[in-house]
Structure 1
Amino acid sequence: MNGPEIHVEFAPELHLFVPRARPTGATRTVTDGVSTLGHVVESLGVPLTEVGALLVDGREVPRGHVPTGGESVSVRPVERPQRVPGAPLRFLLDVHLGTLARRLRLLGVDTAYESTDLGDPALAAVSAAEKRVLLSRDRGLLRRRELWAGAYVYSTRPDDQLREVLDRFRPELRPWTRCTACNGLLEETTKEQVADQLKGGTQRSYDVFAQCRGCGRAYWRGAHHEQLEAIVERALTESGQER
C-alpha cells in the first residue's frame, strides 16, 4: 500500500513487539486516510492491551484518531498500576499459564483457569461474559475484539510472571482463602469431615484443616507449606500489603 507516511516511535517497553523498528523503537508506516491510529499501532505488532497514551505531535489523542501524512506518533506503555474500571478485578488465564494461575489463587486472587485448551474464541467470550482480565502470552488472542480486557505476560518464569501481574494490577491479596485447584473459597473444617481424603500419616500429624466450598478438596499445612509460605511472604512484601 502506498500513501502518506507517518513516523511512529514506541516506548522501550514495547520494542519486543516491533522487531522491524530501529533500535530506538522508531519506524515509518504509510496511512490510508481511513484506518484509526489504534488499528495502525496494532498492525505494527503491538496489542492494544499494552498501549497507554498515544501522542500525535506532542498532544494526546484517542485511539480512534485517523492519522494523516507527516504526523509524528509516540506510543506509550500502559500506566502502572493499571486500573480496570467497571468490575471487581479478577483474571482469566490461558492454558499455558497454569503455575501462575495456582500462585494467584494461593494469594487469594480470583483467577479462572482450565487445564484444557478452550480455544481463543471461547476464552475471549468468557472474558467478556465474566468481565475478567485475560492474561496470555499469545498476541493474537489479545487482539480479539470481543475481549473485555487483557494483558500480555512478558516473562516465561513463574516467579517473574507473578511479580509482573502484581506490579501491573496491584490486586488485593488474601492468602490461603482460595482453592488452588478450582478457585473456590476455602472454609475451616474438622479432621473428621475430610477424613476420607487423608492418609494415615496426615491423620496422625495434622489437626488444622480447610476445605474448598466448590470442589471439596481438603487443605492442611503439609510438606510443601514452607515453600508456599515463602511465595506468599515475598508477594506481600513486594506489593506493600500486610497480613
Structure 2
Amino acid sequence: MSATEIHVEVAPGLRLFVPPARRAGATVLGTDGVSTLGHVIESLGVPLTEVGALVVDGREVPASHIPKAGETVRVRAVERPQRVPGAPLRFLLDVHLGTLARRLRLLGVDTAYESTDIGDAALAARSAAEKRVMLSRDRGLLRRRELWAGAFVYSTRPDDQLADVLDRFAPDLRPWTRCTACNGLLRSATKEEVADRLEGGTRRTYDVFAQCTECARAYWKGAHHEQLEAIVARALAGRSQGPAEV
C-alpha cells in the first residue's frame, strides 16, 4: 500500500516528545492509509495521555480517525484543569516518584505508590482495576492500552512535579489527613494510644498526635514540620492564585 502524506503540527508544550529534527513547525509524515491518527501521533513520540484535541483541517476528530492524503493535523495539549470522568480522582505512581507520592498524600490526595518495580503490565492493570490516574515519566508505560488514565510527569524535580500535577488536575486538597507512608486516613490519637511507637524524648516533648488507621504509624509536629507546613502553604496558595509554585 502506498504511503499517505499528512502535515502534523504539534503544540509547543508537546514538542519535547518529538525527535529534534521534527520539532520546528509542521512536519510531513507518511502513513499507511489504515492506521489511526492516534497511532500516527504515538509513532511520532507523543503519548496520547498528553494529547487534548486533534484538529484536522479545522475540525476536531477522534484518535480513531484514519488520516487522508494532504490533511493538516494540529495536535493540541490537554486542557487544564483536566477532568477525569467516571471515578473519584485518585493517582497511582511508579517506583521513581516516591517523593511526589508522599507530598500528594501530605496534601490529602488519594495516592497509591509502588515502592518496587512491579513492571508496566502490573502497573497498568492496577490503574484499570482501581480506576487510578497513572503518573509516570515512562512513555512506554503511558502507551499501554489497558491503562485507565495516565499523565506524563514532565520534571525530575519534586517541587516542580507537585506544582504541575496540582495545576493539571486540580485535586481537592485536605492537608494532614493521609498517612505519607501508606496512604491510609489519619485520626486524632492520645499519647497513651501511640506510646509504644514513641521514643522517650518524643513522649516528653509532644502531646498532640495523629495515627494512621491502616498501618498505625504515629504522627506529631516534629523537627521537619515547618518544611511540611511550607509545602502545604504553597500548594494552597497556588490553588487560589493559579499554578502552584512549589
TM class, shorter-length: over 0.9
Q: Distance in 1 between matches of 2:190 and 2:25?
A: 59
- 1:23-62 correspondence to structure 2 within 5 Å: 23-62=23-62
- Could you tell me how far apart the structure 2 residues matched to 1:25 and 1:177 are? 46
| 1:27, distance to aligned residue in structure 2 (A) | 1.3
Give 1:106's aligned residue. Answer: 106
Superposition deviation, residue 26 in structure 1: 2.2
1:118 offset after TM fit, Å?
1.2
Q: CA deviation at 1:21?
A: 4.4
SS of the residue corresponding to residue 8 of structure 1 reads strand
Deviations 1:191-242 (A, max 9, x none): 011101111110111000000000000000000000000000000000129x
1:1-243 paired onto structure 2 within 5 Å: 2-240=2-240
- Aligned-partner Cα distance in 2 for 1:2–1:151: 35
Q: CA deviation at 1:20?
A: 4.2
The alignment of Structure 1 onto Structure 2 pairs a total of residues equal to 241
- Partner Cα distance (2:35, 2:2) in 1: 14
Report the RMSD for the aligned CA atoms in angstroms.
1.2
Contact 1:195 1:203 (8 Å CA) reproduced: yes
**1:60 to partner: Cα distance:** 0.8
Contact 1:8–1:26, Cα closer than 8 Å, also in 2: yes
Determine if contact 1:18/1:25 at 8 Å carries over to the other structure: no
Q: Distance in 1 between matches of 2:238 and 2:158?
A: 15
Which whole-Å CA distance do the structure 2 matches of 1:185 and 1:26 have between them? 49
CA separation in 1, counterparts of 2:22 and 2:109? 39
- Shift, 1:25, TM fit: 4.1
Tell me how far 1:24 sits from its aligned partner.
Answer: 2.5
Q: What is the TM-score when the length of structure 1 is the normalising length? A: 0.97
What secondary structure sits across from 1:240 in the alignment? Answer: helix
SS, match of residue 6 in structure 2? strand
Report how far residue 22 of structure 1 moved.
3.6
Task: Write the distance in 1 (CA, Å) between the matches of 2:205 and 2:52.
Answer: 52
4+ runs of 1 displaced by more than 2 Å? 20-26
> Which ranges in structure 1 are unaligned for 5 or more consecutive residues?
none
The answer to whether the 8 Å contact 1:33/1:66 transfers is: yes
Identity of aligned residues (%): 80
Unaligned runs of at least 5 residues, structure 2:
242-246
TM-score (norm 2): 0.96
